[in-house]
C-alpha cells in the first residue's frame, strides 16, 4: 500500500531562517503528491501538488517542493519563513482504493512548524 512518512514531528525555526520539511513516499507506478497546511483551529488548505512534468513545484506564498523519484522524496522548502507560517504541514499521496477507480488521500503524520521571533 502507498504511504507517506514525515520524518520530523516538530520543526522549530527562527523568523527569516530557511526551512525544509521532509516527506518520503512508498514507490508506485503513478504518484500524485500533495502538501497541505493547517493553521490553528482551521481546516486544511492545499499548498502545492506534484502530478507530472517539472519536478519543482511552487506555491504562491514562497514554498516549493521537489519531486525526487530516485530518493522517493517530496520535501517542502522555504528560503525565509515568517511568524505567520506557524502551522501543521501534512504531506499526502493520492492512492486508488483497492486498485480501482476511486482515489483517496493518505496523509503523513504531520510536521508542526513553529516560527519564533
Partner 1 sequence: DTEVTQTPKHLVMGMTNKKSLKCEQHMGHRAMYWYKQKAKKPPELMFVYSYEKLSINESVPSRFSPECPNSSLLNLHLHALQPEDSALYLCASSQGATRGTDTQYFGPGTRLTVL
Q: Which residues bind partner 1 (CB under 8 A)?
A: 30, 32, 34, 36, 42-46, 49, 51, 90, 94-97, 101-105, 107-110, 112
**Spatial separation of the C-alpha atoms in residues 13 and 68, rounded to whole Å:** 25
Q: Provide the minimum distance between the beta carbon of 77 and partner 1 in the complex, in angstroms, as a whole number.
A: 21
- Contact, 6 vs 73, CB < 8 A? no
- Measured from the CB of residue 32, what is the shortest distance to partner 1 in angstroms? 4
CA 90 to chain centre: 5
**Whose Cβ is closer to partner 1: residue 99's or residue 117's?**
99
**Smaller CB separation from partner 1, 41 or 70:** 41
Task: State the nearest-atom distance from the C-beta of 4 to partner 1, in Å.
Answer: 10
Neighbours of 26 (CB within 10 A): 14
Nearer to partner 1, 19 or 34 (CB): 34
Q: Which of 19, 47, 44 is nearest to 33 (CA)?
A: 47
Amino acid at each position: 500500500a502507498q504511504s507517506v512518512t514525515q520524518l520530523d514531528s516538530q520543526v522549530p525555526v527562527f523568523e527569516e531562517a530557511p526551512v525544509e520539511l521532509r516527506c518520503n513516499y512508498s514507490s508506485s507506478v503513478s504518484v500524485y503528491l500533495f502538501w497541505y497546511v493547517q493553521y490553528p483551529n482551521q481546516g486544511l488548505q492545499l499548498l502545492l501538488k506534484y502530478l507530472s512534468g517539472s519536478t519543482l513545484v511552487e506555491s504562491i506564498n514562497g514554498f516549493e517542493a521537489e519531486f525526487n523519484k530516485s530518493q522517493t522524496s517530496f520535501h517542502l522548502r522555504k528560503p525565509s519563513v515568517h511568524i505567520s507560517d506557524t502551522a501543521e504541514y501534512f504531506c499526502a499521496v493520492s492512492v486508488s482504493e483497492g486498485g480501482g477507480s476511486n482515489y483517496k488521500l493518505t496523509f503523513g503524520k504531520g510536521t508542526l512548524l513553529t516560527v519564533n521571533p
